[in-house]
Amino acid sequence: MSQTKACSFVIESSRFAKLERALSVALPAAQSLGNDAGIFWLRDSIFAATPYASIGLANCGLEIEGVSGCIAISQFAARSLLFELRTWRVYYLERIFVAASYKLVFSFEYDRRSKISTPPLVSCYSGSWRPRMTPREHYERLLAHPISFECELSIREMTAKLRSNEEYGYVVLEGLSGVASHVAASRLLLLAFLEAAKNEDTTFLLAYYGDQRCIVCRAGDVIAIISVID
């Protein structure tokens, strides 16, 4: 388990587009995963995760000097930060100062001529679990293992199918892909990926790695690693 280390760093305006892109995927995924899901900044990636799934960008590209350990961002703070990056004020926002310890603080510095001032954004994450790998790192490890089966599916049709079976907590992949299999996965985790990927493409690839007991779902640059139900 990767722990939070006290650190501080600066996000320059040249990184705002990548930050907004990463949060726009991680936040809806975390909201769909439920209150237990965290949003984490680990090395060059921001993503949503639980012990059973991680959802984010395959190529996040947020390499920023000073980021140390695994930084947890509350859903409230992520939503507020994403909102700030999408308002008209972002045109005057020059940099964001980040200080991480037992809590996370985002301080905004605007062009002085704009006379804009906003209070710091404070994030507190009460959970103790933190991921050790980003979705991209996990996927790269899986490439060394054989794929048991894979298929291409419609995002819209799969979302409708999963939502029409709310009485079930899991789905059997055979019923999704037509491939003979008794492998089951959480309906909620699959829906969280589909929610994050709904604007990415019309279809997604689903691959099952039998010896690793996990599924990889990918639509465009949005990727999810989901543990299957034993």
Q: Is residue 102 situated within a structural domain? A: yes
Residues 91 and 205 in one domain: no
Q: Looking at the domain assignment, is residue 72 inside a domain? A: yes
> Are 92 and 39 in the same domain?
yes
Same-domain check for residues 117 and 167: no
Instruction: Say if 1 falls within a structural domain.
Output: no
Residues 59 and 126 reside in one and the same domain:
yes
Q: Where are the beta strands (DSSP E) in 15-154?
A: 38-42, 45-50, 53-57, 70-73, 93-100, 104-110, 121-123, 149-154
> Residue 180: what pLDDT?
55
DSSP code per residue over 80-109: HHHHHHHSGGGGTEEEEEEEESSSEEEEEE
What length is written for the chain? 230
Asked if the structure places residue 113 within a domain, the reply is: yes
Choose one of 133, 154, 182: the last residue of a domain.
Answer: 133
Does residue 139 form part of some domain? Answer: no
Count of the separate structural domains present in the chain: 2
Same domain, 31 and 126: yes
Confidence (pLDDT) at 103? 85
Has residue 138 been placed in a domain?
no
Range of the domain at 179: 145-227
User: What are the per-10-residue average pLDDT scores of the chain (230 residues)?
Assistant: 70 95 95 86 94 93 86 92 95 94 91 90 83 94 91 88 80 69 86 89 90 93 91
Same domain, 155 and 220: yes
Query: Is residue 161 located within the same domain as residue 84?
Result: no
Residues 121 and 173 in one domain: no
Is 46 inside any structural domain?
yes
Distance between CA atoms of residues 13 and 1, nearest Å:
31
Question: pLDDT value at position 206?
Answer: 92
The Cα 181–Cα 137 span in angstroms is 27
> Has this prediction a pTM greater than 0.85?
yes
What is the per-residue pLDDT for 1? Answer: 45
Instruction: Based on the fold, state whether residues 171 and 127 are members of the same structural domain.
Output: no
Sign of the alpha-carbon dihedral angle for 63, 66, 70, 76: negative
pLDDT for res 2 = 47
For residues 114 and 156, membership in a common domain is answered with no
Together in a domain, 88 and 154: no
| Of the residues 133, 164, 189, the one at which a domain ends | 133
Domain termination residue (choose one: 70, 104, 133): 133
CA end-to-end distance (rounded Å), the chain:
23
Residue 4 is predicted with a pLDDT of 57
As a whole number of angstroms, the distance between CA 185 and CA 167 comes to: 15
- Tokens 């590209």 correspond to 61
- Pairwise CA distance, residues 207 & 16, whole Å: 32
Query: Is 61 within a domain?
Result: yes
Fill in the DSSP letter of residue 178: -
What CATH code is carried by the domain that includes residue 79? 3.10.150.10
Q: Is 110 helix (H, G, I), strand (E, B) or coil?
A: strand
Amino acid at 98: V
pLDDT at 229: 87
